């Protein structure tokens, strides 16, 4: 088992990141950041991703385009907010969750702020998305999306 404390940046020079099942990515800031234009990125989480003071996965501090596929495997965990900050037109994210995605300390489990990009969430029968704050919604949608009215909140 390895504990990785260095943040990861995925971009055209580093298009695939895989965290092994026994590994923990435990970062004091953003754990994984996607940067760049017209990139095809794949993140495979088989372990535990935890960002103690920020976000587990940050999508774009600047507008990003291209595609990102995030696979959260069975028995894998994301212990922080999945934060899509600036997904530009032409950008697409697919989240395949079969594990646990939990936000702690007054965060949304997922926050989507897109500027024309598309987000697809596939939550399998084993996938759980939650937050530890019962007053907090699991999802935050900062820009009206066509699918926004179809999300079920409990």
Could you tell me which of 116, 97, 120 has the C-alpha nearest to residue 46?
97
* 130 or 23, higher pLDDT: 23
Tell whether pTM > 0.85: no
Burial degree of 79 (CB within 10 A; 0-12, 13-18, 19+): buried
Residue 152 lies in a domain: no
Could you tell me which of 73, 7, 72 has the C-alpha nearest to residue 34?
7
Q: Which domain holds residue 135?
A: 3-143
Residue 149 lies in a domain: no
Residue 148 lies in a domain: no
Could you tell me which of 94, 68, 84 has the C-alpha nearest to residue 14?
68
Q: Residue 140: its pLDDT value, please?
A: 46
Residue 126 lies in a domain: yes
**Rounded Cα gap, residues 57 and 22, in angstroms:** 19
Query: Is the pLDDT assigned to residue 143 strictly greater than 60?
Result: no
Mean pLDDT over each residue of the chain, to the nearest integer: 79
Residue 150 lies in a domain: no
Q: Please name the helix (run of DSSP H) or strand (run of DSSP E) that holds residue 85, with its range, or none.
A: strand 77-97
Q: Residue 85: its pLDDT value, please?
A: 74
68-111: per-residue pLDDT in tens? 999 999 999 998 878 777 788 888 889 999 999 887 655 667 77
Is residue 86 within 8 Å of residue 58, measured between CB atoms?
Answer: no
Residue 1 DSSP one-character state: -
- 87, β-bridge pairs: 64, 114
**Rounded Cα gap, residues 118 and 138, in angstroms:** 18
Residue 49 lies in a domain: yes
Residue 33 lies in a domain: yes
Mean pLDDT of 143-148: 42
Please tell me the total count of domains within the chain.
1
Residue 81 lies in a domain: yes
Mean pLDDT of 125-141: 67
């Amino acid at each position: 088992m390895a504990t990785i404390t260095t943040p990861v940046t995925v971009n055209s020079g580093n298009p695939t990141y895989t965290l092994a099942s026994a590994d923990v990515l435990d970062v004091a800031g953003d754990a994984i950041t996607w940067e760049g234009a017209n990139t095809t990125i794949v993140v495979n989480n088989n372990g535990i991703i935890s960002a103690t003071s920020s976000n587990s996965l940050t999508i774009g501090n600047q507008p990003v385009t291209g595609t990102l596929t995030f696979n959260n495997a069975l028995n894998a965990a994301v212990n922080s907010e999945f934060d899509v900050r600036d997904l530009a037109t032409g950008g697409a994210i697919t989240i395949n969750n079969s594990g646990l995605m939990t936000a702690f300390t007054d965060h949304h489990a997922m926050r989507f702020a897109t500027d024309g990009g598309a987000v697809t969430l596939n939550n399998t029968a084993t996938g759980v998305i939650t937050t530890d704050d019962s007053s907090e919604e699991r999802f935050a949608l900062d820009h009206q999306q066509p699918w926004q009215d179809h999300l079920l909140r409990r």
